A and B are shown apart, each in its own frame.
Chain A
Amino acid sequence: MKSLLSEAWLVASKDLRIEARSRVLTNQVAPFAVLVLVLFGFALDADQRTLRMFAPGLFWVAVLLCLLLAVQRSSAVESADDAATGLRMAGLAPAAVFLGKSAAIFVQLLVLELLLTAGIIVFYGSSVKNLFLWLIAGLVTALAVATTGMLYGALASGLGVRETLLPILLLPVLAPVLIGATRAYDDALGAAAVDGWAWTGLLAMFAVVASTLGALAYGALVED
């Protein structure tokens, strides 16, 4: 177990180092996230009251769109110069590679969630009413979508149509997460009177199942 976690840490730190040096997250994905929020504002042509009401859903749609970019990026890093083969030949356990790469996406999503929260506060006039729920729901949702995204990223990797295939495969699976996370943030942001903790519990279950399934299936998916 210790070995698995240390190997996962190696992979995660490698991916995060690449992101820190390439600055794709800060220079491209983060501006894209803010742009999505702004476009929602234009498209809905709404006043802040309406935007505040829809802010939880718009927030998580923006996160899912950014997730697609993060997963594509995570796969692209391994495709360049056939780095995936190098990773396999390094003798790392496939489960560790899966957990490590998921952890890197998870960290990136947390950064984006922070940025998007600031975005909905500034642009939509939202406010965080329940800080603890906002934090926990944000963490478990990021974990759920990062592990699911990584699993489906592996499914689409190495295919010529990866960029177009990934959204078709991934987004329907994440639809329940979108519903649950929106309800949880409805409560955390005070947009609607729902039990956000119940939805957060469901999201946590989804995250555990996705992490376990992904760790078990990843080896079979990347074998050639």
Chain B
Amino acid sequence: MTNPTSSVATTGSPGSRALGLATLAGLVGLLVLAFVLTEPDVRIHPSTGQEIGQFDAVRLLYLHVPMAVITYVAYSLAAFASAGYLIKRTPWWDVTAHAAAEVGTVFCFLVLVTGSIWGRPVWNTWWEWGDVRLMTTLILFLMFVGYLALRRTAADPRVQARRAAVVALVAIVDLPLVNRSVEWWENRTLHQKSTLGELKIEDLTLFTLMVGFLVFLMVFSWLLLHRFRVGWLTLAAGEHQVAAAIKERRAEADGSGVASAVGETS
């Protein structure tokens, strides 16, 4: 796919359909693992003997954490492709950046929603203003909402691409803050440090989490692929319209067209 004017009737292909089916199967498998096969988080308090823990709410771990990691991947790709566009100035980089940012924003939204749902039973609140990771994630989300708003303007595509690339490169500065916030501001967050990095989880929990990463990577790849193709087709359609308009004007500029334009009747 190197020429934007090449005719493609659909965004689907045998490869993307196979990926889509595998992703669907993976999602079903993940849901079964997360909501049926894994155990809820129940522990016994050493002194009172009462049951404590996150209970069934812990199952959101298998959705929330992989989606957060995919958000990092998507936004990093958007920033990388934006830098690529500013260097190469070719549409491929721009369309890639746009697609990654859009899919990343969907994931970021889902991260905020699942985090909020998880926070209600565990932290006893839907939203915690004092949590640095929550705040930095929200700011990241809002910056990319702005990016997508810029993308929706009717500006010249090259101007829009250049400006969007700068917005993405500024926004990505927030990503390390989101990621490292639990270490840098450990007293200002309800989020725990990385359990994966310190390997505090094991067996089926770890396996399910790994399946979650893989499945959401497949979801991201599938969405990115189709969003990229939509962007590429939009580009091709725009160029086709320009080419058609030029052809039309040239047709108007033949003998009769010129005569009528200067007011002479044939």
Q: Closest CB of chain A to B162's CB: distance in Å?
A: 6
Q: Do B139 and A155 have beta carbons less than 8 Å apart?
A: no
The reply on A175 being an interface residue by CB < 8 A is yes
The reply on A86 being an interface residue by CB < 8 A is no
Q: Using CB atoms, name the residue of chain A closest to B170.
A: A173
Q: Do B162 and A169 have beta carbons less than 8 Å apart?
A: no
Q: Closest CB of chain B to A212's CB: distance in Å?
A: 12
**Contact residues, B123-175 vs A (CB, 8 A):** 135, 139, 142-143, 145-147, 149-150, 153-155, 159, 162-163, 166-167, 170-171
The reply on A220 being an interface residue by CB < 8 A is yes
Q: Do A168 and B149 have beta carbons less than 8 Å apart?
A: yes
Q: Do A172 and B163 have beta carbons less than 8 Å apart?
A: no
Q: Using CB atoms, name the residue of chain B closest to A210.
A: B170
Classify the secondary structure of A's interface with B: helix
The reply on B86 being an interface residue by CB < 8 A is yes
Q: Which residues of B contact A158 (CB under 8 A)?
A: 155, 159
What total of chain A residues lie within 8 Å of the partner, measured CB to CB? 21
Q: Which residues of A contact B162 (CB under 8 A)?
A: 220-221, 223
User: Given A158-B159, A213-B170, is A172 in contact with B150 using a C-beta cutoff of 8 Å?
Assistant: no
Q: Which residues of A contact B143 (CB under 8 A)?
A: 169, 172-173
User: Given A158-B159, A175-B139, A176-B139, is A169 in contact with B167 using a C-beta cutoff of 8 Å?
Assistant: yes
- Our pick among B86, B150, B154, B155 for the contact of A169 (Cβ within 8 Å) is B150
User: Given A172-B139, A176-B139, is A155 in contact with B167 using a C-beta cutoff of 8 Å?
Assistant: yes
The reply on A122 being an interface residue by CB < 8 A is no
Interface segment among A9-17, A18-26, A55-63, A159-167: the answer is A159-167
Contact with B along A104-126 (1 / 0, CB 8 A): 00000000000000000000000
Q: Which residues of A contact B86 (CB under 8 A)?
A: 220
Q: Which residues of A contact B155 (CB under 8 A)?
A: 158-159
The reply on A45 being an interface residue by CB < 8 A is no
The reply on A77 being an interface residue by CB < 8 A is no
B-to-A contact residues, CB < 8 Å: 86, 135, 139, 142-143, 145-147, 149-150, 153-155, 159, 162-163, 166-167, 170-171
A-to-B contact residues, CB < 8 Å: 155-156, 158-161, 165, 168-173, 175-176, 213, 217, 220-221, 223-224
